[in-house]
Each structure stands twice: as C-alpha cells, then as structure tokens.
Amino acid sequence: MVGTERDAIEVIEVAEGRPIKTWTAGVPVEAAARQQLLNTARLPFIFHHLAVMPDVHLGKGSTIGSVIPTSGAIIPAAVGVDIGCG
C-alpha cells in the first residue's frame, strides 16, 4: 500500500520560529543538524516553513538537505560547501 504525502511529512513546531516540515521518516537526524535547523527556523526572515529532505546532515553555514525560503533576504551560505554532493 502506498502511503499519502501527509504520512511522509513530520512537522516540527518551533517556539518563536517557523515550522519545519521533514521528509525524514525512518532516517536518523544528527542532534547537531537538528539544532542547526531549529536555529534557522528562528531567523526573522524565514518565509512560511523550512523543508528537510532525507539526506539531511550538519553543514557549514546551513544544514545540508534543507530548503530555506526567505522573505527580503538572501543567504549565500545556504548553498553550502558541498554543492552537488548528492
């Protein structure tokens, strides 16, 4: 049986921040990567929510495997140092 998209998404509500939608069911997420995502979700210019893909891991500047929508800001470091790693 095929699950629905809703079954595959976990939503993490972030105090004083935007929600984080994750597509990581059954995938372990490093504590440091999780903290990095929480910190990003609390930035004032994040638009709507962060998205996290199954290849998530700690990165320099931003979490690898994350999609970071912004309003009124650009984050060059969000590209990361391992662009094209996947």
Distance, in Å, from the CA atom of 62 to the CA atom of 37, rounded to the nearest integer, reads 8
The pTM of the full predicted model, rounded to 2 decimals, is 0.84
Nearest to 64 by CA among 36, 25, 24, 28: 36
3 versus 80: the higher-pLDDT residue is 80
Give 11-49 pLDDT, tens digit per residue. Answer: 999 999 999 999 999 899 999 999 999 999 999 999 999
What are the boundaries of each domain within the chain?
A: 5-68
Higher pLDDT among residues 60 and 11, named by residue: 11
Q: List residues bridging with 11 in a β-sheet.
A: 21
In terms of Cβ atoms closer than 10 Å to its own Cβ (0-12, 13-18, 19+), residue 64 is buried
pLDDT band at 8 (very low <50, low <70, confident <90, very high): confident
Is the per-residue pLDDT at 1 higher than 50? Answer: no
What pLDDT score does 5 carry?
Answer: 57
pLDDT at residue 63 tops 90:
yes
